[in-house]
Chain A
Amino acid sequence: MSRNSSHNSSRHNAPAAGSGQEVRAAAARALVPVITDQGSLAALDEFSVVARDRSLLKALCFGTCRSLPRLEALASLLLKQPLKRRDSDVQALLLLGIYQLLYLRIPAHAAVGETAGAARLLGKSWATRVLNGCLRRLQRESEALQEEVDQDPNVALEHPAWLLDALRHAWPQQWREIAQANNQPGPMTLRVNRRHLDREAYIEMLTENGFSGTLCPHAPDGITLHTPCDVSALPGFAQGHVSVQDEAAQLSANLLGPALAPRPGARVLDACCAPGGKTAHLLEQFDSALTAIDSDNTRLARVEDTLERLGLKAQLIHADATQNDWWDATPFDAILLDAPCSGTGVIRRHPDIKRLRRKEDIRSLAKLQAELLDSLWPMLRPGGTLLYATCSVLPQENCDQINAFLERTPDAAVTTPEDVAWGQASGSGRQLFPVEGSHDGFFYARLEKRPA
């Protein structure tokens, strides 16, 4: 048996990084899969750094991902010749160094010195000189170099060209604001568990504990913190009083309210439930018999953890919602389809989406969403409600998707509310864009099955 305490930390394989150089080396290693198009930042948790450096590690990695196209453009100006692929860790250090100099309030001498020094920890001492040279030149010629790269709007707005084109095409009025909002970190928004207390009571608890927040204007259980913090520091987090969830994501419970509130014990399906935020919110708010399925077993286990912490119960099934082999043939009163999507509404929270997502993905995601709609619709009872949700801002996944579904599904009627203060009408649904200091980008469409 072993204990989870400080004295067994020596048995961890990765040495704990402490100094500034070690954090930067860890950040470079975490970024390599992203900049070589081989993976995501998801593995960040596996890097062993001491607790006080963890927030710096996260800030460095997320920030560098968020501004990647611009940092890469600057890097190629600074390097006399491109680095070899096997030196992508050195490239990552250079990007990190540029990011620190231009975007973070880290003293320049530390940003340059610690970053260049980190090359030694990667076993590439030769790169120290290269990095020092490039970063010092950036310090000297910062304005001219930035001006040069910003002539390209894709670089200035820090988005891949295909995505900026798609946004410009879909939202000729708002595309620039959407892109700018994607480049700012999203706020930390909480959802108060109304089975325990209401948000007015909780905001008092927050104030007593030295936090400050504002009640969300649209989500009735939401509080947006003025400064993000570690969840474990939140009063009552372990006891299930509160969860972290964006305001736009909290609206799914509002939208299902008319279908569920008057109908205790209603049979509800959450068709792609992981990681379980919306699942939990529905259970906090309504006394439903909820079935939650997901095709990813690992992510389903996280749903189980979340429900356990919040003291909620649902039937969890590891199943693929495009199939019906798991279904007991009893129709559902309501279905939430929070469909797999491009995530283009939550780029500010997952900046690696900019790099990982490809133009071709949109078509295959739209195809999957259509399959999910077609597969789930027969499971809804006549008179029942299906809520379609995505965290995308692309019409192919949203209004176009629902329009096509309505065309091929004669018994589907639109019941999306029009008299709400959030988002804008978009086809048969409502589109929210990411807003600085406020909610993420989301799309909702509410459909009712006409009685036969």
Chain B
Amino acid sequence: MAKLPILEFPDERLRTKAIAVETVDDDVRRLVDDMLETMYDANGIGLAATQVDIHRRVIVMDVSDDRSSPRVFINPVYTPLGEEREPLQEGCLSIPEYYADVSRALKVHVTALDRHGEPFELEADGLLAHCIQHEHDHLEGVLFVDYLSPLKRDRIMKKMQKRHKQLQDA
């Protein structure tokens, strides 16, 4: 397993639309393992392949408190269940140290392939539902800051550029 570098906003590569995985083979499983390691190492609860500059439709997640329930979604598709939406504070490994409330569907129905290429279905709500929608957005090139006002997004962009400059200088 290997830890992968995570792209950070406003990196344009985060805007790439990912393509579907045709066959879930050993290469894909290796990617899944590397992504899980990367996510755990960064203390994230979800990671999309887009964030590690691999533009395939692969998501890993673990929303459990004790970091014991890794989940893998390959070629995920979700549909909201009902009209209900709720705001939840989100952060993103590609936008470190910034958090904001984002309103998303409270409940979703998901279909995806698991690490063996087997299809599965899932009904999710709360944090898991939020996280699925957040990671799915990554595969479409969408970031949670896109839901905020242009003023706020601009401010985050400046903050991130400053951070990148500092990291470069250090």
List A residues at the B interface (Cβ < 8 Å): 1-4, 7-8, 10-13, 297-298, 300-301, 304, 316, 318
Contacts and interface: CB of A to CB of B under 8 A. Distances in A.
- The 5 A-B residue pairs with the shortest CB-CB distance, nearest first, are A8-B43, A2-B91, A1-B46, A4-B99, A301-B151
B90 A297 contact: no
A172 to B, nearest CB: 45
Given A8-B43, A11-B96, A301-B149, 10 more contacts: A1-B45, A1-B61, A1-B131, A1-B144, A2-B42, A2-B91, A4-B99, A7-B43, A8-B44, A12-B97
Contacts of B43: 2, 7-8, 10-11
B89 A301 contact: no
A214 to B, nearest CB: 36
A1 B44 contact: yes
A316 B44 contact: no
B151 A1 contact: no
A13 B99 CA distance: 17
B91 A1 contact: yes
B97 A301 contact: no
B42 A11 contact: yes
B93 interface: yes
B148 to A, nearest CB: 10
Interface string B90-105: 1111001101000000
Contacts of A2: 42-45, 91-93, 96
Interface residues of B, number: 26
Contact of A297 (B45, B61, B91, B151): B151
24 contacts: A1-B44, A1-B45, A1-B46, A1-B61, A1-B90, A1-B91, A1-B93, A1-B130, A1-B131, A1-B144, A2-B91, A2-B92, A2-B93, A8-B44, A11-B42, A11-B43, A12-B97, A297-B151, A298-B155, A301-B154, A301-B155, A304-B149, A304-B152, A318-B151
Given A1-B44, A7-B43, A304-B151, A298 B158 contact: yes
Contacts of B155: 297-298, 301
A1 B71 CA distance: 14
Contacts of B46: 1
B10 to A, nearest CB: 15
A3 B151 contact: no
A316 B61 CA distance: 39
A4 B89 contact: yes
Contact of A1 (B134, B152, B154): B134
A1 B93 CA distance: 6
Interface in B26-49: 42-46
A152 to B, nearest CB: 39
Contacts of A11: 42-43, 96
A12 B93 CA distance: 11
Given A1-B92, A4-B91, A11-B96, A301 B44 contact: no
Contacts of B135: 1
Contacts of B90: 1
